[in-house]
């Protein structure tokens, strides 16, 4: 597939849910509490995009198709965009922009702190996702971008806190997240073994 077509397809696939939800909000099709529904959908969208972004490397290792790497940054930035809209939705529809209520809110919903930490992590990754930052940070860039795994754990914890009553969907996300973490760990152990000098023979 041609590069611009592939990239454009991924761009559209990420944009369409936002347009659909916007249309549903306009036509009062988001249920009795549209603000909360929108916040939930944006949060789920951000998590799905995060998991998809993390699937790209294993897909590339197994298929050797470079197209997966081509859209990694784009999907990472979409993850950040959805997460930021989720946070903005929370501030507008749930907090009602009454910032004085934040301390009370944090005491009532401590999972917000976990979400905030995850969002700050995503912000750091989005700000350093460009070539100039890659050059400036050198080897530190890879180390910084491995933060994506602790961020995923934070987001899963944040969601777990919210959906405790029904863990069906959460279990699915957590299982995929755990598999991706295990794959990454196995690969880095295998690579370290391959790079270390052969162990001296006995006898
Ligand atoms: C400052 C940062 C954040 C705040 C204030 C925040 C706030 C919230 C709130 C209030 C809810 C529950 C809404 C409800 O009552 O149903 C929620 C749920 C959720 N959030 Fe966040 N969040 C933050 C960061 C994030 C990030 C970074 C992600 C993902 C990348 C995320 C993903 C989710 C998910 C998946 C849910 C569950 C949605 C559902 O019930 O279906 N959140 N968040």
Residue-range domain boundaries for the chain = 3-187
Q: What is the pLDDT of residues 69-97, one digit of tens each?
A: 999 999 999 999 999 999 999 999 999 99
* 196 HSE (CA, 13 A, CB side): 8
Task: State which ligand 1 atom lies nearest to the alpha carbon of 49.
Answer: 30
Return the residue whose CA atom lies nearest to atom 7 of ligand 1: 112
Convert 20-38 to b/e letters by CB count within 10 Å (16 or more is b).
ebeebeeeeebeeeeeebb
pTM of this prediction exceeds 0.85: yes
Cα gap 59→68, rounded to integer Å: 7
Residue corresponding to tokens 């995850």: 118
Pocket of ligand 1 (CB under 6 A): 36, 39-40, 43-44, 46-47, 50, 83, 86-87, 90, 94, 109, 112, 115-116, 118-119, 122, 155, 158-159, 162-163
Q: What is the pLDDT of residues 118-150, one digit of tens each?
A: 999 999 999 999 999 999 999 999 999 999 999
Tell whether the model's pLDDT for residue 199 goes beyond 60. no
């Amino acid at each position: 597939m041609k590069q611009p077509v592939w990239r454009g397809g991924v761009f559209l696939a990420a944009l369409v849910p936002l347009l659909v939800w916007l249309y549903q909000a306009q036509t009062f099709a988001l249920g009795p509490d549209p603000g909360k529904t929108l916040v939930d959908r944006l949060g789920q969208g951000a998590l799905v995009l995060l998991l998809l972004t993390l699937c790209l490397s294993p897909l590339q290792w197994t298929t050797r198709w470079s197209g997966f790497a081509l859209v990694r940054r784009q999907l990472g930035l979409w993850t950040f965009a959805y997460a930021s809209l989720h946070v903005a939705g929370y501030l507008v529809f749930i907090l009602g922009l009454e910032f004085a209520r934040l301390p009370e809110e944090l005491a009532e919903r401590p999972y917000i702190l976990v979400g905030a930490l995850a969002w700050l992590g995503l912000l750091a990754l989005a700000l350093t996702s460009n070539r100039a930052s890659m050059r400036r940070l050198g080897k530190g860039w890879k180390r910084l971008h491995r933060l994506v795994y602790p961020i995923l754990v934070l987001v899963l914890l944040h969601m777990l806190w919210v959906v405790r009553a029904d863990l069906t969907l959460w279990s699915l996300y957590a299982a995929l997240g755990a598999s991706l973490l295990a794959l990454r760990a196995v690969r880095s152990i295998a690579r370290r073994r391959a790079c270390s000098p052969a162990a001296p023979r006995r006898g």
